[in-house]
Amino acid sequence: MMAKVLMTKSKFQLYRTASENCSAAFSLVETVLAIGVVSFALLAVLGVMSTGSSSLRRAVDSTVYSQIVQSVLASAKQSDFSGLTNSAPVGWNGRLLYFDDRGVMLDGASNALYRATVSILSPAALPGTSSNYSDLAQISVRITKTANTNDAYKVSAIVANNGQ
């Protein structure tokens, strides 16, 4: 008889009540809160990523703009000073130059990402003075993206006639 009672006890141990089963699982409220916290964290990470990518794009553009300006000014300084003020295509005044995504000068506008417009003012005045000097020329470079010509990056430099 003793063995029979033990057997019935073990049968009851196999079946648990509903309240005992629910204590081991998550409730609907806990699940919704957990999903909300995870969603909020992912949203914050995505927001930081978009800000970071736009900052990276501005940094790349700034680097390419610097390379373009350096290239244009180096080419202009190597040319004859009297030819600087002539109008394009012979001179530099009004010349359009095209560049790729790395700031390398291209022959045409077909694969260009950036466009530089060069304008020359001669005779030019030194900054802070009102006198114009015939041996000085002010080179202005206006760089735009070929897709968006509204945003422009502008740089001006003074070039002196070195007599060559």
Of residues 114, 109, 30, 42, the one with CA closest to residue 71: 114
Sheet-wide strand order for 95-99: 105-106, 95-99, 114-121, 136-145, 152-160
Q: Is the Cα dihedral 99, 115, 157, 155 positive or negative?
A: negative
Residue 123: cis peptide before it, omega within 30 degrees of 0: yes
How far is the C-alpha of 38 from the C-alpha of 19, rounded, in Å?
29
Query: In angstroms, rounded to a whole number, what is the distance separating the alpha carbons of residues 159 and 77?
Result: 7
Rg (the chain; Cα; Å): 36
Strand 136-145 and strand 105-106: pairing? Answer: unpaired
pTM score of the predicted model = 0.66
Least confident of 1-15, 58-72, 119-133: 1-15
List pLDDT tens digits, range 36-93: 999 999 998 888 888 888 888 889 888 999 999 999 888 888 888 777 777 766 778 8
Q: What is the pLDDT of residues 128-152, one digit of tens each?
A: 888 888 888 888 999 998 887 778 8
Q: Which residue reads 């806990």 in tokens?
A: 30
